Structure 1
Amino acid sequence: MPTPFSEERAEQISRHLKLLTFLFVILPIVLLVVFIEFRFRSIEENLPHYTPSVRDEARRELDTMPWRPVTGQRLYVPAYSHVYHQKGEPYLLTVTLNVRNTDVNNEIVVTSVRYFDTSGKELRSLLQKPLQIAPLAATEFVIERNDKFGGSGASFIVEWKAGTEVNQPIVETVMVDTSNTQGISFTSSAVPIRESGSGGEFSTDAENIAPAGD
């Protein structure tokens, strides 16, 4: 039969073991997690980033075309300002339209970016002037999460031109939402609906844009 002394001793040993477990197992794990979280936040804060739709030497608005266009495309790009989940409830998304010039030597000019809703109605133009994109540069256009007018069948019509034969740009949309505990993200790629060869012309969002030297 255990004595009061042995029970008290056992309780002291148990407390000491719990304390040692906390000091040498639990506390180091907590400190490690805090350190890793701090390091990740520090790295994230120091990462270079660009404001969406930035205009700089690699993405310049133009008053005149730098050359007479000889090639280009009109692209249809699917977008989703929301998708449906659970019992058909809309799940709002942020949409980023990304245009990447894949040519290593030549610039392209994006002449038109128009945003349409599910019914095919044009909501607005996202370009005031043609936008020149340097070799290997990219630009983006953002539809904010609370802009829900596009719907689940929204789309962009993007038109671009070049002064010489170039690699076809990559144009895609990225849909993202991280407002809930479980995030969602996916992409959609552009589909060419018209191409122009030498001398081919598309309409532009900006009026009276003529080739330089005309």
Structure 2
Amino acid sequence: MPHQQSKAKDKRILVIGLGRFGSSLALELVNHGWEVLGVDSSPRLVQTYADALTHTVIADATDEESLIQVGANQFHRAVVAIGTHLEESILTTSLLVDMGVPDIWAKAVSRRHGRILEQVGAHHVVLPEHDMGERVAHLVSGRMLDYVEMEEGFSLGKTRAPKELIGRPLRETGVRQKYGITVVSVKRLDTEFTYATEETVLHKGDVIVVAGRTGDVERFAEVN
């Protein structure tokens, strides 16, 4: 059974659902030093990841008694990675909320599914297929090298520095007033990313990360 400890120091997490998303997440967390309890109703999936995860348990996560037996109520963090069976996803999330788990992440397969998960009490809802599709769309349709939507309407974009910003300190370019974005970091060839300041002078070929409203970030990436 998991033991209680402060949330800040607690690197234990419950992952319910060991399909493609849940297993990938669980394995990555283990690689980052987390203790992961993986739960699934499928003996085959549990056996597959038994050696790779800290603990694995065969259990029906829609049954409150089963969740209590695996110690779900003692975790500070839990991920409900059930996607295809919406009723199971919603019921499991609701049970974790009722148990008082303070940090619940839930996978949704649609915005409607996500809204329901939020309504039953999930603290964070992720739509991995939708988010990846949106990200790839930005990459293949423009000059963006990478793209992350931080929250609805606000994004980070990685792109190459446009010609009009090269050779002058950023404070002289008026980039924030003209495009509504902020250059937050810069990377030159064979160097690591560093923070950008008002005195930063961009060079040809520099890669920059900019932040701003999604539409502004998209328009800025099309400059040049």
Q: TM-score, normalised by structure 1?
A: 0.22
Higher relative contact order (CA 8 A, sep 6+): 1
Question: Between Structure 1 and Structure 2, whose CA radius of gyration is higher?
Answer: 1
TM-score, L = length of structure 2: 0.21
